[in-house]
Amino acid sequence: MTDLDLAFGTAGLDYNQDPPQGIADAVFSPDRVDSAFVDRLLSKCTDHLSLLAAPATLDRVYDFGADAFDPILDSLRGTIPCVVLDVPHMWSGWTKRLLVGADEILVVAGPDLANLRNAKNLVDLLRAARPNDHHPYYCLNQVGVPKRPEITPADFAKALEDQPLAVIPFEPQIFGTAANNGQMIAEVSSGHKTAEMFRQLAQVLTGRAEAKRSRGGMLTPFLAKLMKRGA
């Protein structure tokens, strides 16, 4: 897992990790990047999950060229079977490059008009830029907030010409507990329906299951196996 929101990323908090090094050490020292260097930067969360954390500090600005992350991603690709990139909500040369070169993409959107517009713009661009690749998946997050008017999954499906891979319900108790404790949903309650949704989504995005989009179901968000197969 690589957190690319260097200024405000929360993956370290989410996994209850506070590593002294992370993605910034690699991107600001590209000449030092090799498999051994990258291995030292990774923070081990579980036997099957390591984190390349964002510094989440504002002591420098994070303006990068389009190919700034290529060395670190090439190194990760050579040693790790599945690389997940958490791409921040911004549009730049490097974010576009990462998305266009990804194996799989998951766009996460809230059920409102601005998110519908942004998701459609992004999905349309990526479909055009990746004509021979799998279309981006998308999911809806925090659906069903009491008394809040929302754009329905059916309206999203019509505008994006595709069903959402996931529709995640608004569940403040379990998500708030997990966030404040630095835990995953499955750690808070492994049998919770949302934990199963995340497991299903992870299987789809890593190629271990066939995507089954649901018109009214509640599948999952978040993960995105954003790795380019070639250089």
pLDDT band of 45, cuts 50, 70, 90: very high
In the block, residue with structure tokens 């999203």: 156
Average pLDDT of the residues in 209-230: 44
For 133-184, write each residue's pLDDT tens digit. Answer: 999 999 999 999 999 999 999 999 999 999 999 999 999 999 999 999 999 9
pLDDT for 216: 41
pLDDT for 208: 85
- As a whole number, the mean pLDDT across the chain is 89
b/e sequence 127-138, b meaning 16+ C-beta within 10 Å: beebeebeebbb
pLDDT at 222 over 50: no
Question: Exposed, middle or buried, 197 (CB in 10 Å: 0-12/13-18/19+)?
Answer: buried
pLDDT band of 213, cuts 50, 70, 90: low
pLDDT band of 207, cuts 50, 70, 90: confident
pLDDT at 30 over 70: yes
pLDDT at 228 over 90: no
pLDDT for 220: 34
More confident residue, 111 or 196: 111
Domains along the sequence of the chain with CATH:
1-100 (3.40.50.300), 104-231 (3.40.50.300)
